[in-house]
Amino acid sequence: MRWSNKRSVIGDLEGCEVVRVLVGEEQREFTLHRKLLCESCSFFKTNIEAIPPPSTSPGGEVEDSVLWLPSESPDMFEIFVLWLYQRRRFHTFMDDVIRTISPDECRAVRTNLVRLHLFAAIIELPGLQDLAMDALQDMYLRFDWDMSPRFLAFIYGDCDPEHAVRLRKWGVAMLAWTLHGADMGSVLSNQIDKLFAAFPQLKADYQLHLDKMIQSRADVRLKNPQLRLPANKLRSGERFFGFRQCTFHSHRATVGEGECPHSLALSLEPAPQQSGSSRASTYYGRRDMKDEMESDTSDDNIISPVGDLDLNEMSYLDLS
């Protein structure tokens, strides 16, 4: 996915110290504010501080610091850069994307959100993990997508279990929802049996999820993992149809029934109507980013290096 030209450039860099980040084997280049990147997390701070200071070329030009992330996806990193520069607006942008583009176009966004979630886990940005998870749930709700065997094979076969723990929890809940639905259960049963044989942990996680549903007297045919309810303290009827706001967040164990750290008190607002979904509606909570550096307090001084979404230049691994 691409929001800008191949060479991403910040608007006015005069007087600003920058770092060039090369992403992927093709080394797509992003020129970013060094201070902003360092203050985002310890991963970038440590790696950028280890880079030799800028040097002067024989021609008198100052050569920027360079950081290379060879194993990451440039398309995913563009979403990360968008978050880096527009954190408080990030969820609004993703909401707009999910509402306005087609299912086929959204598949590219989906895969890069999965990659973003994993990247955020690697560099220890749990808040970004949670935003990516929220967007995935909203996307699946809008298009009424089922959980595919290919997606499960990816998160159980190709991903580090520690990094993919939240994806796995959500994926298993989605699998139960899919298999117990009227349409896909019989169609996928043979494929799922093969997946269970290939990935015993998937089978164990699936059974654990079913046991928890029985203990809570929830019906997996009704309890929709696509649906994020706007609170963690639910009324008795709500819990049978959707999941708590923080069920698949990184802080779930510490929050309990309390308020999500990403939400402002009493500021929950209903989402725009989800066309194309036959199951339920969802809600969006405004995230409170006070615990993170407010990167977009002045758009006049900080200009994001990503521009408009270009749907004609998407690349993705289809997880359907």
What is the number of residues in the chain?
Answer: 320
Q: What is the pTM of this model?
A: 0.76
**What pLDDT score does 309 carry?**
38
**What pLDDT score does 74 carry?**
94
E-assigned strands of the chain?
A: 18-23, 28-33, 55-56, 62-63, 65-69, 224-228, 242-243, 269-270, 283-284
Task: Please tell me whether residue 291 adopts helix, strand or coil conformation.
Answer: coil
Amino acid at 310: D
**What pLDDT score does 119 carry?**
96
**What pLDDT score does 237 carry?**
74
**What pLDDT score does 84 carry?**
94
Of 298, 294, 229, the C-alpha closest to 257 is: 229
Of 145, 152, 250, 240, the C-alpha closest to 195 is: 152
**What pLDDT score does 77 carry?**
95
Cβ proximity of 185 and 192 under 8 Å: no
Q: Each residue's pLDDT tens digit in the chain (320 positions)?
A: 333 333 333 444 444 688 899 999 999 999 999 999 999 999 999 998 888 766 655 665 555 678 999 999 999 999 999 999 998 889 889 999 899 988 888 888 999 999 999 999 999 999 999 999 999 999 999 998 988 899 999 999 999 999 999 999 999 999 999 888 756 556 677 888 899 999 999 999 999 999 999 998 888 888 899 988 887 787 777 777 888 888 889 888 777 878 887 774 334 443 434 444 333 333 233 333 333 334 443 333 333 344 443 333 333 334 44
Q: What is the CA radius of gyration of the chain?
A: 21
Cβ burial 288-300 (10 Å sphere, 16+ → b, else e) = bbeebeebbeeee
